[in-house]
Structure 1
Amino acid sequence: MIARIWHGVTPIEKSADYLRLMREVAIPDYRSTPGNRGAYVLHREEGDVAHFHTLTFWESEQAIAAFAGDDITLAKYYDFDGDYLLEKEPRVTHHDLYDR
């Protein structure tokens, strides 16, 4: 299994709305992709910004590509992201996940 991690930062005053959009749009999108094995949002406030990490689990690189496109290292963004994020970080990280 592969864990995929994305990071984004919003101004603190936009974080509640962004979290709502993550719950209503992004997480259902991840979870509806064949080969997705789970999707979670991690949220942390720090000073005047909020950090978001999405932690998703995938059965294969092909499943990730079905979600994110051929270059699976590139972050996938939604139409609303530009209204909230301070920066669109270009890349995500992938990690092999072992349970034994």
Structure 2
Amino acid sequence: MRTWRGWTRPEDAPAYETYLMKTGFAGYTSTPGNLGVHFTRREVDGRAEFFLLSYWESMEAVRAFAGEDPSVAVFYDEDDDFLIDRERTVEHYEVFASA
């Protein structure tokens, strides 16, 4: 499982959500080996927080999406127009149980 967080101003959240669906969601789900994604949003401390979770068959599949260093976050051309803060790296977890 791969996780990432980014933050926008609350008023920019709906537009960023639309943008994410065209860029990140499309990129994740079109990559062979992607097993699913959850894109979430909440407002905390005057900011809109986006938390993305994606599930992958293998680290090779993650590299097909993210590049040679899978710990580096993937960004798109207009992310700078929306994001006021972001994680530059991602975290990976091995899922050992789910329901």
Could you say which TM-score interval applies, normalised by the shorter chain? over 0.9
Unaligned runs of 5+ in 1: none
1:85 aligns to 2:83 (yes or no): yes
Displacement over 4 Å in runs of 4+: none
Give 1:13-52 correspondences, 5 Å limit.
13-52=11-50
Identity %: 37
Q: CA RMSD in A?
A: 1.2
TM-score (norm 1): 0.91
| Cα distance in 2, alignment partners of residues 53 and 88 from structure 1 | 10
TM-score (norm 2): 0.92
1:60 is aligned to: 58
Q: What is the deviation of 1:22?
A: 1.4
Unaligned runs of 5+ in 2: none
Aligned length: 98
Deviations along 1:46-98, whole A, 9 cap, x unmatched? 24210001100001111000100111100000111100111242100001012
1:96 is aligned to: 94
